[in-house]
């Protein structure tokens, strides 16, 4: 018999093979391909006949794995079409290093056995109402949004929903936006349920990945917590998907195969015909619009745990306060912090910049230290005593010969968290201080650090936006935003929305156990209305205004954007190619083609980058017309095209 086999490669169609073994759709097989053997999956349709005369090869072996479900195959076909990527690359996301894993002996999975304990946590009336509105008893597809002030107990509500699904013999998936959140979240899960969930992200070992992959495929593992990639695991009987912090930009995969994991999770739930819950303190604009249209059901938690109130805020206007030389903390802020420390409050200094200084230059020749591979500044990390590129990973020392004379005379311009840490250390020499950023919290000892912070053994934190994501610090009652202006700049259509979400999440870290709490904003910006807007206790007011602006200007979610990025090592050749490409596609695309323009980060990893943007109505017509035309254009050697559907940033 002839069978269509899809391979995890850049092909957009299955290959035809002969088989003496009885095979059905979804079976995992081993087949010869070129000179090697490769794992493939029996697909739902044959390749289109191109009338070529070639010898059909034979399937070597059927693997002893439960077949990939038809619903998952349909989802992968749709995923490929929506994101304009080959079907083979969609399949590659499901497999493990392009392989499938056969079942292990049963005792290997015993650590993940579900044995749900009875817990004494009682839901409030408000939480019970939200749980009822989630209405997952029908087991059919629907999207429900649970919005709640930070610290209102959203997690407990969806844990209860999750418990029902597990008790009914289904598998459940909880998506988290950051790897750094999984450790603390796993502890919370075990505390509530009494058993260990599987945890999936890029940092887990190859052996553990194999155990989890096979355990999910054969139904031995019921509960999984994971980052973006866990969405593509071959679940045998998936019953519920939870997307925590649904608004988080980290759900967007920007490299390799680009996709938005939140949107793809909604789609997968639709194909599986199962419920999905989106959890957030401040919904994304897209989600808010779908709530308004009645497309998503919705419930809201207004009260915080133990009726704790949200922090108040105070603006420290730096136009009226002279800062000391090489200082970023005003005397007024230092006094405020002292009064909080005297009350045994934990304090956070917030600055969304890693490292010591974001800009380093020479006082004699005025040359900046920039990355030789990318058109951006190198960031000085004092802890590592080196300059780093946060994009390509290039590393360099500070020593450099000056074009004028001798060695360069270094000036550090602007602060990062390490620099603020040094200043805080000088102002509060007897306090225990920790930096909380992706540089310090993705290490082996990070769980010990977290424990110390939770137990109030650390009095002062200096952190980046990582700290705003889902951590519970019971003693944190004072937050100092070192400079709100630094994080409100940039040419980003989502800038205002991001700020709203960031500062709501950030202020929600404080005052979680009932004590009064305060957020202080240091700023040179006289537009206090902006701060009023993004700190308003009702974020819907801001979202309404933002939606009006988007509608008026025909921006997402009212139009579809598709970003086309051309890269190449030769700048002139790339510019010519971008114009030729635009002329070729302009009349054939179902949408308006804007550009070409140089990308804001024009050079990245030694390649120049030029962007085109396609704007069109919200339908698959845009993607289908792009997918149809691109294969007909032959790019010059060395030029590569990347496609980003629904781009989040425009770097």
Last residue of a domain, one of 42, 73, 94: 94
Check pLDDT > 90 for residue 178.
no
Structure tokens at 638: 């060395």
| Tally of CB atoms within 10 A around 31 | 20
What gap in Å lies between CA 32 and CA 507, rounded to an integer?
57
Question: Domain tally for the chain?
Answer: 4
CATH number at residue 134: 3.40.50.300
β-bridge mates for residue 41, sequence order: 6, 28
155 and 235 fall within a common domain: yes
Check pLDDT > 60 for residue 166.
yes
Share of the chain above pLDDT 70, in %: 95
Check pLDDT > 80 for residue 333.
yes
Three-state secondary structure string covering 15-70 = EEEECCCCCCCCCEEEEEECCEEEEEEECCCCCCCCCCCCCCCECCEECCCCCCCH
32 and 136 fall within a common domain: no
The pLDDT score that the predictor gives to residue 49 is 64
Asked if residue 557 has a cis previous peptide bond (ω within 30° of 0), the answer is: yes
Check pLDDT > 70 for residue 603.
yes
Length of the chain equals: 651
471 and 535 fall within a common domain: yes
The pLDDT score that the predictor gives to residue 94 is 97
Contacts of 525 (CB under 8 A, 6+ apart): 484, 485, 488, 531
243 and 116 fall within a common domain: yes
192 and 321 fall within a common domain: no
Tracing tokens 């939480």 back to the chain, one arrives at: 127
pLDDT of 294-325, one tens digit each? 999 999 998 876 666 678 888 888 888 888 88
User: Mean pLDDT throughout 335-361?
Assistant: 91
CA dihedral of 204, 207, 210, 212, whole degrees rounded to 10: -60
The pLDDT score that the predictor gives to residue 432 is 92
Mean of the per-residue pLDDT values for the chain? 89
The pLDDT score that the predictor gives to residue 50 is 54
The answer to whether 462 and 434 have CB atoms below 8 angstroms apart is yes
The pLDDT score that the predictor gives to residue 274 is 95
Helix (H) / strand (E) element for 594: namely strand 592-604
Last residue of a domain, one of 547, 580, 604: 547
213 and 257 fall within a common domain: yes
Structure tokens at 135: 């209405």
What gap in Å lies between CA 494 and CA 543, rounded to an integer?
12
Q: Where does the pLDDT of residue 487 fall: very low under 50, low under 70, confident under 90, or very high at 90 and above?
A: very low
204 and 69 fall within a common domain: no
35 and 153 fall within a common domain: no
On whether residue 651 sits in a domain, the answer given is: no
What gap in Å lies between CA 443 and CA 21, rounded to an integer?
48
The pLDDT score that the predictor gives to residue 491 is 54
Check pLDDT > 60 for residue 56.
yes
Taking the CA of residue 349 as centre, how many other CA atoms within 13 Å lie in the half-sphere pointing to its CB? Answer: 34
On whether residue 641 sits in a domain, the answer given is: yes
User: Mean pLDDT throughout 561-572?
Assistant: 96
What gap in Å lies between CA 201 and CA 473, rounded to an integer?
24
198 and 248 fall within a common domain: yes
Q: Where does the pLDDT of residue 254 fall: very low under 50, low under 70, confident under 90, or very high at 90 and above?
A: confident
Cα 371 to the chain's mean position, in Å?
A: 25
243 and 330 fall within a common domain: no
Give me the DSSP letters along 492-506: -TTHHHHHHHHHHHH
The pLDDT score that the predictor gives to residue 488 is 44
484 and 581 fall within a common domain: no
β-bridge mates for residue 144, sequence order: 277, 297
| 3-class DSSP state of 99 | strand
Range of the domain at 175: 106-305
On whether residue 464 sits in a domain, the answer given is: yes
β-bridge mates for residue 142, sequence order: 275
Phi, psi angle pair for 617, to nearest 5°: -70, 160
On whether residue 395 sits in a domain, the answer given is: no
Q: Where does the pLDDT of residue 617 fall: very low under 50, low under 70, confident under 90, or very high at 90 and above?
A: very high
DSSP 8: S
Structure tokens at 2: 């002839």
Q: Where does the pLDDT of residue 559 fall: very low under 50, low under 70, confident under 90, or very high at 90 and above?
A: very high
pLDDT of 187-242, one tens digit each? 899 999 999 999 999 889 999 999 999 999 999 999 999 999 999 999 999 999 99
What gap in Å lies between CA 355 and CA 383, rounded to an integer?
8
What gap in Å lies between CA 127 and CA 465, rounded to an integer?
28
pLDDT of 385-394, one tens digit each? 999 999 999 9
Residue 232: closest CA among 83, 106, 110, 107: 83
What gap in Å lies between CA 505 and CA 482, rounded to an integer?
16
The pLDDT score that the predictor gives to residue 571 is 95
On whether residue 613 sits in a domain, the answer given is: yes
Angle, helix 528-535 to helix 539-552, in steps of 10 degrees: 110
148 and 130 fall within a common domain: yes
pLDDT of 576-597, one tens digit each? 999 999 999 999 999 999 999 9
Share of the chain above pLDDT 90, in %: 60
Higher pLDDT, 301 or 496: 301
The pLDDT score that the predictor gives to residue 451 is 81
Give the range among 52-56, 178-182, 246-250, 275-279 with minimum mean pLDDT. 52-56
Three-state secondary structure string covering 372-430 = CCCCCECEEECCCCEEECCCCCCEECCCCECCCCCECCEEEECCCHHHHHHHHHHHCCC
What gap in Å lies between CA 99 and CA 569, rounded to an integer?
34
The pLDDT score that the predictor gives to residue 264 is 98
Last residue of a domain, one of 68, 94, 120: 94
Check pLDDT > 50 for residue 474.
yes
CA dihedral of 530, 536, 540, 545, whole degrees rounded to 10: -20
On whether residue 390 sits in a domain, the answer given is: no
The pLDDT score that the predictor gives to residue 486 is 44
Residue 543: closest CA among 264, 551, 483, 648: 551
Check pLDDT > 90 for residue 115.
no
On whether residue 80 sits in a domain, the answer given is: yes
Q: Is 211 left (phi over 0), alpha (psi -120 to 50) or beta?
A: alpha
Q: Where does the pLDDT of residue 420 fall: very low under 50, low under 70, confident under 90, or very high at 90 and above?
A: very high
Contacts of 555 (CB under 8 A, 6+ apart): 493, 549
Angle, helix 621-629 to helix 571-585, in steps of 10 degrees: 120
Report the range out of 76-90, 367-381, 409-423 with the highest average pLDDT: 76-90
Residue 601: closest CA among 490, 462, 450, 508: 490
Residue 150 CA: distances (Å) to CA of 54, 154, 245, 274: 62, 8, 11, 27
The pLDDT score that the predictor gives to residue 533 is 76
| 3-class DSSP state of 116 | coil
| 3-class DSSP state of 273 | coil
CATH number at residue 86: 3.40.1440.60
CATH number at residue 619: 3.30.70.600
On whether residue 564 sits in a domain, the answer given is: yes
């Amino acid at each position: 018999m002839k069978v269509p086999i899809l391979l995890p490669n850049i092909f957009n169609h299955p290959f035809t093979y002969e088989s003496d073994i009885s095979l059905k759709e979804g079976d995992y097989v081993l087949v010869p391909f070129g000179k090697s053997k490769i794992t493939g999956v029996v697909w739902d349709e044959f390749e289109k006949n191109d009338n070529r005369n070639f010898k059909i090869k034979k399937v070597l072996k059927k693997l002893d794995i439960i077949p990939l479900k038809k619903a998952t195959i349909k989802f992968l076909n749709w995923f490929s079409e929506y994101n304009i990527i080959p079907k083979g690359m969609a399949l590659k996301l499901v497999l493990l290093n392009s392989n499938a894993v056969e079942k292990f002996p049963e005792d290997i999975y015993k650590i993940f056995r579900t044995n749900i304990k009875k817990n004494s946590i009682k839901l409030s009336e408000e939480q019970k109402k939200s749980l009822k509105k989630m209405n997952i008893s029908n087991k059919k597809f629907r999207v429900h949004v649970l919005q709640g002030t930070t610290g209102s107990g959203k997690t407990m509500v969806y844990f209860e929903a999750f418990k029902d699904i597990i008790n009914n013999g289904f598998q459940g998936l909880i998506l988290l936006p950051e790897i750094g959140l999984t450790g603390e979240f796993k502890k919370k899960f075990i505390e509530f349920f009494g058993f260990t969930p599987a945890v999936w992200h890029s940092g887990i070992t190859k052996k553990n990945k194999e155990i989890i992959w096979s355990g999910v495929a054969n139904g031995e593992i019921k509960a999984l917590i994971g980052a973006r990639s866990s969405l593509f695991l071959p679940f045998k009987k998936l019953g519920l998907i939870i997307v925590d912090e649904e608004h988080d930009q980290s759900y967007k995969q920007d490299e390799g195969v680009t996709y938005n994991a939140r949107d793809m999770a909604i789609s997968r739930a639709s194909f599986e015909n199962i419920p999905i819950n989106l959890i957030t303190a401040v919904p994304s604009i897209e989600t808010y619009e779908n709530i308004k249209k009645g497309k998503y059901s919705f419930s809201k938690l207004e009260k915080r745990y133990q009726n704790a109130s949200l922090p108040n805020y105070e603006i420290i206007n730096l136009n009226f306060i002279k800062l000391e030389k090489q200082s970023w903390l005003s005397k007024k802020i230092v006094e405020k912090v002292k009064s909080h420390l005297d009350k045994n409050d934990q304090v956070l200094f917030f600055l969304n910049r890693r490292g010591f200084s974001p800009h380093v230059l020479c006082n004699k020749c005025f040359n900046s230290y920039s990355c030789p591979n990318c058109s951006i500044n190198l960031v000085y990390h004092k802890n590592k005593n080196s300059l780093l590129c946060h994009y390509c990973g290039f590393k360099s020392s500070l020593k450099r010969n000056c074009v004028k004379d001798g060695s360069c005379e270094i000036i550090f311009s602007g602060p990062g968290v390490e620099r603020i840490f040094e200043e805080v250390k000088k102002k509060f020499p007897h306090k225990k201080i920790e930096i909380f950023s992706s540089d310090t919290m993705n290490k082996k000892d990070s769980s010990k650090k977290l424990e110390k912070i939770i137990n109030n053994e650390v009095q002062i934190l200096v952190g980046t936006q990582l700290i705003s994501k889902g951590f519970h610090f019971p003693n944190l009652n004072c937050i100092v935003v070192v400079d709100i202006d630094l994080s409100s700049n940039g040419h980003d259509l989502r800038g205002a929305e991001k700020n709203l979400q960031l500062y709501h999440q950030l202020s929600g870290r404080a005052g979680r156990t009932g004590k009064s709490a305060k957020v202080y904003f240091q700023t040179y910006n006289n537009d206090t209305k902006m701060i009023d807007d993004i700190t308003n206790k009702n974020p819907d007011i801001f979202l309404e205004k933002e939606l009006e602006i988007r509608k008026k200007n025909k921006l997402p979610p009212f139009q579809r954007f598709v970003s086309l990025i051309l890269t190449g090592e030769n700048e002139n050749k790339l510019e010519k190619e971008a114009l030729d490409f635009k002329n070729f596609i302009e009349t054939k695309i179902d949408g308006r083609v804007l550009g070409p323009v140089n990308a804001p980060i024009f050079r990245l990893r030694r390649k120049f980058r030029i962007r085109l943007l396609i704007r069109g109505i919200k339908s698959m017509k845009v993607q289908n017309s792009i997918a149809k035309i691109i294969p007909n254009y032959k790019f010059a050697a060395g030029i590569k095209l990347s496609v980003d559907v629904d781009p989040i940033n425009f770097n």
